[in-house]
């Protein structure tokens, strides 16, 4: 199985609890005994959907088609992730209670928000990094101080215009916390921000999460805009799986109507989801000339590993240079950004990492 075949097989597996036509196709593939499980493990792990893959195959009663040692490994990883997510849920609830006591109401975002909202049949499905939450601008620094007063700390410096404050960690807690003042980079912040999501936020007991439409949008935006996926024209199955599940709760073709500059990046990601998940009705998108061109490039790179690698490196260099030039320019007028820039360029490990990343320096043996 090449990368495209593996990606599409995993994509279909992630939908089998809802899409019967994919369930039939997946079972036929499993019965053929031609699945390259090493490739499936590698790709699903790199896309952070390994536990979700296991949960879906288990729910469909397909695990008996898999090698027994693989099933045992998948179960072990999924159990560990379930335990971690339960701790993250408890930590988020503690943070929520602490902030509410101080008259601050957070809105939980992304993976943590999805866990608190109950998006998944099994909380083990989602691999979560940080606890992300957003607050009104007047409460951001206040919340940061409150958490720091309760054993959270940070050693990093962020530019003043960054969308979130420096990550906070607590040695007694499992997850870092990111307090957001914005959802998006500056270019798009006016279209999607705290004000726009607060008015229709869902309240579950004392916890606030975004509406389904806004969850859907952020699941895509986090990849397309913040992680530059729109430039790379690739897909993240973790984000795509969230989009698929949310598409069962809202209409994808009208969810983005209110956007202007964001509509095309959102619609293009939806088009890739529609293709990779084998055309679920709930993932219908608005076909445009832009989506057609986007899918053409997406498929060209899926079919050619070398082309995908070359274009990825070229795009990475271009975006890195562009972002650093913007930072250098802004540092002339912004003291905090200037301090951040100086700290970065004087960090030897960071410089080495970037030289290796752009192929200008070889990594150390066994590194």
Dihedral-angle region of residue 51 (phi above 0 means left; psi in -120 to 50 means alpha; beta otherwise): alpha
Residue 152 has pLDDT above 60, yes or no: yes
For residues 208 and 54, what is the distance between their CA atoms, to the nearest angstrom?
29
Structure tokens at 240: 């795509």
pLDDT of amino acid 184 = 81
Residue 367 has pLDDT above 50, yes or no: no
H or E element, residue 240: helix 237-247
Average pLDDT over residues 64-92: 96
Sheet of 207-209, strand order: 177-180, 131-134, 107-108, 207-209, 202-204
Q: What is the dihedral of CA 286, 290, 294, 300, to 10 degrees?
A: 110
111 in Cβ contact with 239 (< 8 Å): no
Structure confidence by residue, pLDDT tens digits, 302-347? 887 787 777 777 767 765 666 655 555 555 556 665 565 666 666 6
Q: Bridge partners of 178?
A: 132
Outline where 33-136 has alpha helix (H).
37-46, 50-59, 68-101, 110-117
Structure confidence by residue, pLDDT tens digits, 20-42? 999 999 999 999 989 999 999 99
Structure tokens at 309: 């690698």
Return mean pLDDT, the chain. 87
* Residue 303 per-residue DSSP state: S
Q: How many CA atoms lie within 13 A of 88 on its CB side?
A: 28
Structure confidence by residue, pLDDT tens digits, 244-293? 999 999 998 888 888 888 899 999 999 999 999 999 999 999 899 999 99
Where does the pLDDT of residue 131 fall: very low under 50, low under 70, confident under 90, or very high at 90 and above? very high
Helix axes 335-345, 348-357, angle to 10 degrees: 70
């Amino acid at each position: 199985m090449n990368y495209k075949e593996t990606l599409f097989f995993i994509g279909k597996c992630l939908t089998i609890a809802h899409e019967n036509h994919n369930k039939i196709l997946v079972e036929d593939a499993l019965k053929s005994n031609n699945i390259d499980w090493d490739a499936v493990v590698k790709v699903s792990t790199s896309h952070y959907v390994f536990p979700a893959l296991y949960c879906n195959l288990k729910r469909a009663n397909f695990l008996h088609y898999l090698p027994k040692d693989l099933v045992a490994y998948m179960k072990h990883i999924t159990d560990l992730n379930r335990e971690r997510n339960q701790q993250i849920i408890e930590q988020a609830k503690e943070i929520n209670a602490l902030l509410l006591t101080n008259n601050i109401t957070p809105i939980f975002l992304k993976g943590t928000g999805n866990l608190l909202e109950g998006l998944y049949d099994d909380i083990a499905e989602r691999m979560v990094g940080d606890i992300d939450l957003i607050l009104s601008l007047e409460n951001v620094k206040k919340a940061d101080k409150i958490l720091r007063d309760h054993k959270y700390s940070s050693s990093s410096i962020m530019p003043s215009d960054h969308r979130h404050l420096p990550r906070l960690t607590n040695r007694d807690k499992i997850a870092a916390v990111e307090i957001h003042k914005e959802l998006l980079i500056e270019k798009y912040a006016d279209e999607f921000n705290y004000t726009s999501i607060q008015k229709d936020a869902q309240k579950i007991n004392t916890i606030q999460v975004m509406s389904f439409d806004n969850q859907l949008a952020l699941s895509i935006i986090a990849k397309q805009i913040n992680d530059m996926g729109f430039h790379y024209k690739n897909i993240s199955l973790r984000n795509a799986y969230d989009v698929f599940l949310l598409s069962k709760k809202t209409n994808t073709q009208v969810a983005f109507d209110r956007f202007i500059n964001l509509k095309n990046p959102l619609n293009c990601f939806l088009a890739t989801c529609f293709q990779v998940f084998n055309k679920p009705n709930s993932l219908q998108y608005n076909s445009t000339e832009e989506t057609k061109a986007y899918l053409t490039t997406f498929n060209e790179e899926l079919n050619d590993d070398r082309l995908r690698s070359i274009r990825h490196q070229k795009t990475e260099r271009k975006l890195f240079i562009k972002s650093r030039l913007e930072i250098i320019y802004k540092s002339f007028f912004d003291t905090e950004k200037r301090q951040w820039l100086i700290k970065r360029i004087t960090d030897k490990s960071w410089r080495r990492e970037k030289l290796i990343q752009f192929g200008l320096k070889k990594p150390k043996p066994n590194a």
